Amino acid sequence: MNAGLPADLRLVLAHKQNTSARLRFLRFPHGLCAFDPLPPLSVVAPDDTADTVLHYHPNAWLRVAESHLGLDSGALQPEAEFKATVQTPDGPIAVQLATLNTVDPPFALAEALGARFVAITETRDCMAAELELLRRAYAALLG
């Protein structure tokens, strides 16, 4: 399902309610990373090593992700404070964070993808690497 993104790039997609600061993450049937799952045995690299892997410029992936999701151009905004690298048996994967700048989460869009918007408390059953990515995303978005 990679949507035309490089094989070594995953996205975490979030929606932050402007009025309440309620934060939700887009959860796909396979997990929290768009658009392909992280491989088994994935481990998030420590913060101090995150610069060792190529991080794609947002213009290289935002429009592709918006198109794949059926969003208008400009609906996704990159979060510059977030960057992560996941080490996998097949090599490193860069992970970027983007927020949907809509008033409300696009629930119908998520449902059409077989996905849903969830609070961080609804992710306890995710793999350890995804939980660490969410922890970092939460910290980047809410401080």
> pTM for this structure?
0.90
End-to-end CA distance of the chain: 32
Asked if the structure places residue 77 within a domain, the reply is yes
Structurally, the chain folds into a number of domains equal to: 1
Distance CA 61, CA 5 (A): 7
Please classify residue 14 by burial: count the beta carbons closer than 10 Å to its beta carbon, then call 0-12 exposed, 13-18 middle and 19+ buried.
buried
What is the predicted pLDDT for the residue at 53?
A: 52
Domain ranges, residue 95 = 9-142
Please report whether residue 119 resides in a domain. Answer: yes
Decide if 1 is inside a domain. Answer: no
| Full pLDDT tens readout for the chain, 143 residues | 556 788 889 999 999 988 888 999 999 999 999 999 999 999 999 875 555 555 677 777 888 899 989 899 999 999 988 989 999 999 999 999 999 998 899 999 999 999 999 999 999 999 999 999 999 999 999 87
pLDDT tens digit string along 124-143? 999 999 999 999 999 999 87
Give the pLDDT score at 55. 63
Q: In this structure, what CATH number is given to the domain that contains residue 49?
A: 3.90.79
> Is 4 within the bounds of a domain?
no
- Does 116 fall in a domain? yes
34 falls within a domain: yes
